[in-house]
Structure 1
C-alpha cells in the first residue's frame, strides 16, 4: 500500500487548497480531479494503491472539504483555472488528468485549452451534459432549498445512490463527512454552474489521448453519452466496467488504478 501525505497549496489571492500525494516521487504525475461536493478523500481507495510508477496528486477544490470557501468562483471555468494554478504551484509541468464524475468537466476544459500541460485525459464516469437529465433536475429542486447546516440524511442518500454494490461503511461515512463540509451555497452554486454551462462544448478541441471509463449500472450516465465522447474526441477509447455504478473508483479501485497506470505508460 502506498503512503498518503496531505499538504496545502496556496494559489492566487491566498486561496488555500489541501491536497493528497501518493505513489513514487519520481513517477509520472497524475492529477486526480474530484466531482461535486467531494474532496480528495473520494480518491483514498486509489491513492493507497498507487504504484511507484505514478506520482498522484489529489487537490480538494475551492468550497469543498477543508479548502477555503470564497464567496464566488464556482463555475466549471473557475475550477479549471484553479486546476492549472494548482499544477503551477506544486511544480507540475505536464500530467495525466483523471477527472471523476463532474470533475471531468474541468479536467477536459484544461485538456482542451492547455494541451501542452496534459499528457492524457482519463474520464471516470463523466457526463456529456447534465441539463437534460431528470435526475439532475430532481437534485436541483432539493439543492436549491438547502440551508446550513446541510442535513446529514440528505447527504447520506446522495452518496448511497452512486454505487451499484456496497462499499466499506467506514469509507462511506468519511465521504459523507467530507460532503457535509460544503456549505449550502456551494452545493447550490456548483450545481447551478454545471446545469447552466454548455458542458457538451467542453468536449470540443480535445486532442490529447483520452480514456473514458463507465460502469454499466451507472444510475446517471448512459452508454449513448459515452459514445458521444468517443465520437467527439478523436482517438478516444472506452472501457466498460460490468456491474459497476457511477463511482468505479470506489467499487473497483484496484482495476481503476491498473487502467490508469497502463494508460499513463502508453501516453508517457
Structure 2
C-alpha cells in the first residue's frame, strides 16, 4: 500500500490555498494530477492513491470551496477551477502533467487540456459528463441544492454520495466522503452546480488534441453511453474503457483496475 502525504499549496496572487495529497516518487514521465468533482475533495481518490505503485507519481488537490481548501466568496465557474489548476501546476513546478478528472472534475481538466496543451501530456476522464443540463435528474438536484442551508444536511449529502455507486464501496470510506462534502458550505454547493449547468459544456470539448482516455461504468446512473460517445467523437485521439457492472464513480468501486489503466495509458504517451 502506497504512502500518501498531505501538503498545502499557497497559490498566491489572490488565489486560494489548496491542500493536496501526494504519492509516489518523481520519474522520467509526467506526473498525474487528479481533479475531483462536485462537492468532493482529494479524499475521493484515496483508494486509487493507496493502490498506486511507487513508480507512479501523483498529486490530488482539493479545489477552492471544498474540503479544507480556502473558501473565497466567488470563483466557482468551471473556468475558475481550471485557472486554479494551472496555478497549482505552476506552484509545484510541473511543466506537463497527465490530468485525471473524476466526474465533473473532468470538465476543468479538459478546459486546461484544450486551452493549455503545452501543460498537458494526456487527459483521463473518469465518469465525466459530456453534457449535464440535459440529464433527467438534473432539475431535481438543482432544486434540492437551491434550498440548502448551512449546515448542509448530512442525510442529503449521504444520499447524494450513495446514489453515485452501484457496486460495493467500503462503508468507512463512504462516510469520509460524506464528511468531506459537508465541509463545503451551502453557497459552494449552489454556485458550483450553477456554474456546471450554465456553462456550455459542449464547447469545453473543442480543441482537445492530447491523447485522451475515457473511462465509464456501464451501470452509471447519471451518464449514458451516448453521452460518453459525444466525448469520443469530439476528441480525435481518444479511446474508451468500459467497466462492466460499475456505477458513476469507477474509482471508488474498482480503484486497482483504474490504476492499471492509468499506468498503461501513461506508459504509452509520447515523450
TM-score in terms of structure 1 length: 0.98
Q: Which residue of 2 aligns with 1:18?
A: 19
* 1:263 equivalent among 253, 262, 265: 265
Q: CA deviation at 1:136?
A: 1.5
Q: Which residue of 2 aligns with 1:6?
A: 6
Q: Which residue of 2 aligns with 1:177?
A: 179
Q: Secondary structure at the match of 2:60?
A: strand
Q: Which residue of 1 aligns with 2:111?
A: 109
Q: Which residue of 2 aligns with 1:40?
A: 42
Alignment of 1:113-192 (within 5 A): 113-192=115-194
Structure 2, unaligned runs of 5 or more: none
- Aligned partners of 1:53 and 1:205: how far apart in 2? 31
Alignment of 1:221-236 (within 5 A): 221-236=223-238
Residues 42-100 of structure 1: CA deviation (Å, up to 9, x unaligned) = 00001111122221000000000000000000000000000000000011110100001
Contact 2:21 2:42 in 1 (8 A): yes
Structure 1, unaligned runs of 5 or more: none
Contact 1:24 1:51 in 2 (8 A): no
- Aligned partners of 2:243 and 2:51: how far apart in 1? 19
Contact 2:34 2:60 in 1 (8 A): yes
Q: CA deviation at 1:14?
A: 5.2
- Aligned partners of 1:135 and 1:79: how far apart in 2? 24
Q: Secondary structure at the match of 1:48?
A: helix
What stretches of structure 1 move > 6 A for 4+ residues in a row? Answer: none
TM-score in terms of structure 2 length: 0.97
Q: Which residue of 2 aligns with 1:50?
A: 52
Q: Which residue of 2 aligns with 1:99?
A: 101
Q: CA deviation at 1:165?
A: 1.2
- Aligned partners of 1:235 and 1:177: how far apart in 2? 38
Q: How many residues were matched structurally?
A: 268
Q: Which residue of 1 aligns with 2:222?
A: 220
- Aligned partners of 1:95 and 1:24: how far apart in 2? 14
Inter-CA distance 24–96: structure 2 relative to 1 (3 Å threshold): same
Q: CA deviation at 1:144?
A: 0.3
- Aligned partners of 2:127 and 2:217: how far apart in 1? 7
